[in-house]
Structure 1
Amino acid sequence: MTEVSVPTQVAGLKIGLVSISDRASEGVYADQGVPSLKEWFARALVSPYETHERLIADDRLTISQTLISLVDDVRCDLVITTGGTGPSRRDVTPEATLDVATREMPGFGELMRQISLNFVPTAILSRQVGVLREIEGHAALIVNLPGQPKAIAQTLEGLRGEQGEQLVAGLFGAIPFCIELIGGPRIETNPDVVVAFRPGQKNKPKT
Structure 2
Amino acid sequence: MATEAEVGHPLSGLLSGLAQAAFHGQPAGVTEEERLRGQLYPDVPPDQFGPFVDKMRSLLQSIASADMDFNQLEAFLTAQTKKQGGITSDQAAVISKFWKNHKMKIRESLINQSRWENTLKAMNWRVDLKSQSRHVDQINTPVAIVELELGKNGQESEFLCLEFDEAKVSHILKKLSEVEESIIALTQPA
Q: Settle same-fold status: TM greater than 0.5.
A: no
More contact order relative to length (CA 8 Å, sep ≥ 6): 1
Higher helix proportion (structure 1 or 2):
2
Query: Larger C-alpha radius of gyration, 1 or 2?
Result: 2
- Structure 1 length as normaliser, TM-score? 0.24
- Structure 2 length as normaliser, TM-score? 0.26
Higher strand proportion (structure 1 or 2):
1
